[in-house]
Structure 1
């Protein structure tokens, strides 16, 4: 048994029933095999054994009172996974599916994603099994305040800087920031994704979606292709999907489908992103309403059918494991030649293996969707300087970061015998920076 395989099996054994965490461990660790052959010092110092174990895992109760006067209790999490290259950085997710295994999967991915940005930020993740959907403004506010009542003692601008994720947008960040300020009696850049009136960064809303397109644009160009004239399918209709569609259309793509948890819309004439923004960002309505406004569009119940639409480029931007092997087969049968993950771990291991076996370009989330955390780190920089950059300045920095992520991932893949495999390349490029920092800092 190889060193890497031994560490992987022990990590799975020590973390039973955490399916998503097991999945990311397998995806990352198996691609690192060649690294340890070339750099045996990592084996001697137990870099991998330490890397798969979070530095700290915090679980706490979140009591709050609903509008009917009833006491509700949710569970809160913060997994501070690795701080070798900077303070923990990663989003907070409020969703009923949240559990420790999902937090660990997201936090482990965040280590490599943050490393790839080239910015000094470590990896962490957190959240709660609270569901903001259907809750009143008051209920969301009191929950966020109660959540912060515990987590505030574990975070700081130079220790751990959470951001938003699924279920946590500007509203939730604002409520949490206000409570932190009251409890800690200081105004710092302790959260990112803040409103522009109290330390937020321009381009943060667009960052993840734009970043996916900037990364894919580089990857496509390397193969002599581009978004111009490419039929594109994008799952989801949150921030990532909306701004991926917007930027793809600016580069000449024809986006024909989007989705939400109810189903998907197909518009052969091309999605009207203005309508989507109105429905989702302003009116908070279901995507099915789009078909009532645009008669050329069709609404189909269920999300998985979106991958049966013939396309050139597929951008899964909804949730983890949304692209199964069956979906991958449908995409490739429909002529798809590029898949870029906008959501975290969008594809199952089987789907990735099948896509790569057909020599289809595949961009993993830790590289392709790093734009959000990159701009969050830029927000941290602006907060530290008590200064703000223009939209254009931040967008230019984001483009440079995403271009460098592609370059470094592509070069790492070539160096370690995985030419063309951006999954392995991103894992290795992200790992090397963290490993060197851990090596330099001793056994801690």
Structure 2
């Protein structure tokens, strides 16, 4: 059964619509080529009309939320193993600090540009607000390819990157973490350079650090675990659970593999996964520990499949496989309308985003029309930043929490995020299963309230 459409009686007054349209025109005028950023802004602006009808005092906040407080672009000169000087471009977009210090990851990817960083930073503002924690939103990174660097090159790059970044971050200002291509090792190197420059110990300036440097238990697992916790809450509302469910996961990094772990613990069978070199199908279930061993040696999912008698490889999307639950955990725009239609035809119950924007707007429309549950990334993959904020709390108190305590807090936070999105979907869209618009509305309300309370600053 298809989901109910938004109640037209909840549309905002004409003057509110006109002001929101003016914000949208300004976004297009200022950055005409930033299509990823435009797509995310459009999604939020589309969602908040009913909120503004109820809270007209927040209309003048919208334009401020769509423009970053600060955009920092800098060069990163470093020396490779051959002694040649290389130059990359670094980014840090400090989007909104109304709720607290900017918080968001650093991504190393050769395709990274300002459009992508702004898209991710805008998404982060609402994601962080949904957690209920006192953190603002930001994002950053560099257009380096860590896969082509030796460990020595990558350390030198991280130190050069950290040298420039040091002037813009700090425990009370901006607290970066890891993201794609940046793990605890890289954060440790960047933090080491930061500490060398500032001249004192400030562990709360970065999260996702190695445990020995003040990193939190369960930080590597947090995003993947959180995706599954959110999925379980969605399924419970449908009268279903993961026990016996067939799950397909894209990606084979931390988010994907820890999501697989937690899904299997809940009784599911992971029947397929992928990486940048292809996808595999394994009806009897992927052995996640064996997959990790292969990946740790630099292998691919195809190399893993060669060692498994029941596994087959394919160059097609993993979401062509029959499944009950789809967890896209790789990168943006990996599920388009064609993949969405296949998921619908195969009887998929829910699609829950473990990555940032992996389901295109057109694909989301296909899922919505078919009544397939959709968990948006700004809600479902907030587990990583949630535990990052818990790491900040531990660092501030010079404390170490047990993994069990962190996991309990993570489950509670993800449950609260689910409930906020569901309740806002029901209140402002007339549909409690509209998690996408509900998450936008709930996140906007919390940030807008803070921005409005601060005055025009």
Pairwise TM-score range, normalised by the shorter structure: over 0.9
Structure 1 equivalent of residue 44 of structure 2: 28
Q: Does 1:207 align with 2:219?
A: no
Distance (Å, rounded) in 2 between the aligned partners of 1:226 and 1:388: 33
Q: How does 1:75-86 map to 2 (within 5 A)?
A: 75-86=89-100
- What RMSD in Å do the two structures reach over aligned CA positions? 0.9
Q: Is the 8 A contact 1:418 1:424 kept in 2?
A: no
Name the stretch that deviates more: 286-295 or 145-154. Answer: 286-295
Structure 1 equivalent of residue 35 of structure 2: 19
Q: Offset of 1:13 from its aligned partner?
A: 2.0
TM-score (norm 1): 0.98
Q: Is the 8 A contact 2:429 2:437 kept in 1?
A: no
Distance (Å, rounded) in 2 between the aligned partners of 1:327 and 1:31: 25
Where 2:205 maps in the other structure, the secondary structure is: coil
Structure 2 equivalent of residue 5 of structure 1: 21
Q: Does 1:411 align with 2:420?
A: no
Name the stretch that deviates more: 219-228 or 3-12. Answer: 3-12
Q: Does 1:103 align with 2:117?
A: yes
Structure 2 equivalent of residue 232 of structure 1: 247
Structure 1 equivalent of residue 449 of structure 2: 436
State the aligned residue count: 439
| The one of 71, 80, 83 aligned to 1:57 | 71
Q: Is the 8 A contact 2:429 2:438 kept in 1?
A: no
Q: Offset of 1:323 from its aligned partner?
A: 0.6
Where 1:416 maps in the other structure, the secondary structure is: helix
Runs of 4+ in 1 over 6 A off after TM superposition: none
Structure 2 equivalent of residue 158 of structure 1: 172
Q: Is the 8 A contact 1:234 1:257 kept in 2?
A: yes
Structure 1 equivalent of residue 341 of structure 2: 329
Q: Is the 8 A contact 1:4 1:30 kept in 2?
A: no
| The one of 365, 372, 376 aligned to 1:360 | 372
Q: Offset of 1:5 from its aligned partner?
A: 2.7
Where 2:172 maps in the other structure, the secondary structure is: coil
Structure 1 equivalent of residue 265 of structure 2: 250
Distance (Å, rounded) in 2 between the aligned partners of 1:199 and 1:318: 28
Residues 320-354 of structure 1: CA distance to partner in whole angstroms, max 9, x if unpaired?
01110111011111111100000001111000111
Structure 2 equivalent of residue 276 of structure 1: 291
Q: Is the 8 A contact 1:418 1:425 kept in 2?
A: no
Q: Does 1:292 align with 2:300?
A: no
Structure 1 equivalent of residue 138 of structure 2: 124
Distance (Å, rounded) in 2 between the aligned partners of 1:24 and 1:244: 25
Structure 2 equivalent of residue 338 of structure 1: 350
Q: Offset of 1:417 from its aligned partner?
A: 2.4
Structure 1: stretches of 5+ with no match in the other structure: none
Structure 2 equivalent of residue 194 of structure 1: 209
Structure 1 equivalent of residue 8 of structure 2: none
Structure 2: stretches of 5+ with no match in the other structure: 1-16
Structure 1 equivalent of residue 399 of structure 2: 387
Distance (Å, rounded) in 2 between the aligned partners of 1:48 and 1:172: 36
Q: Does 1:262 align with 2:274?
A: no
Residues 189-215 of structure 1: CA distance to partner in whole angstroms, max 9, x if unpaired?
111110111100000010000000001
Distance (Å, rounded) in 2 between the aligned partners of 1:322 and 1:262: 14
Name the stretch that deviates more: 406-415 or 3-12. Answer: 3-12
Distance (Å, rounded) in 1 between the aligned partners of 2:21 and 2:325: 34
Q: Offset of 1:8 from its aligned partner?
A: 1.6
TM-score (norm 2): 0.95
Q: Offset of 1:4 from its aligned partner?
A: 2.2
Name the stretch that deviates more: 417-426 or 159-168. Answer: 417-426
Distance (Å, rounded) in 1 between the aligned partners of 2:262 and 2:378: 19
Residues 67-96 of structure 1: CA distance to partner in whole angstroms, max 9, x if unpaired?
111110000000000000000000000001
